[in-house]
Amino acid sequence: MINIQKDDFDIAALYQQLNHSQLNPNGYGAIVTFVGKVRDFNQQQHIGSMTLEHYPGMTEKSLSDIVEQAKARWPIGDPIIIHRVGELAPGDQIVYIGVVSAHRKAAFEACEFLIDYLKIKAPFWKKEQTENGTHWVDAKETDTTAATRWEKAK
């Protein structure tokens, strides 16, 4: 399940979907989740708000491709990816990733792969409002480095 939305998400409800739905038909026992939130700082600047934009259709396709890559690498059920767009405040939830597998190692690795690839391959754009004005956020070298390690691990 992939969903791009403005509304917040309920972590407990998403966990239940992973645990009791067609996303876990084999009754896998390892469930790993990740939640990303808006930080109140970036590059030593206070963040007042963040606006996330995306390219509808293209973003979902990109996320779907990333999910298929994860499923080809690890024995996992269908993951859940929720990503919010619109204006968000510090502390707001941005992204949820949930993965089920028979074994914890596969679930952890697949979840980490999904967030690493989402950060550099999915077409989302972030604009931050700081005390110094509004600016678009460039991709971070640390995100690229995190994702490239998966290329080496193929």
| Phi-psi domain of 43 (left: phi exceeds 0; alpha: psi -120 through 50; beta: other) | left
Look at residue 115 and tell me if it is in a domain. yes
Look at residue 154 and tell me if it is in a domain. no
* CATH assignment of the domain containing 103: 3.90.1170.40
How many domains is the chain partitioned into structurally? 1
- Taking a C-beta distance cutoff of 8 angstroms, is the pair 61, 37 a contact? no
- Taking a C-beta distance cutoff of 8 angstroms, is the pair 82, 3 a contact? yes
At 140, list the tokens: 């971070």
| Phi-psi domain of 86 (left: phi exceeds 0; alpha: psi -120 through 50; beta: other) | left
Look at residue 66 and tell me if it is in a domain. yes
CA pair distance 89, 153, nearest whole angstrom = 36
CA pair distance 31, 67, nearest whole angstrom = 16
Residues with Cβ < 8 Å from 153, sequence gap 6 or more? none
Look at residue 107 and tell me if it is in a domain. yes
pLDDT in tens, the chain (154 residues): 999 999 999 999 999 988 876 767 777 789 999 999 998 766 566 888 889 999 999 999 999 999 999 999 999 999 999 999 999 999 999 999 999 999 999 999 999 999 999 998 999 999 888 888 888 887 777 767 767 788 766 6
Domain holding 41, by residue range, is 2-149
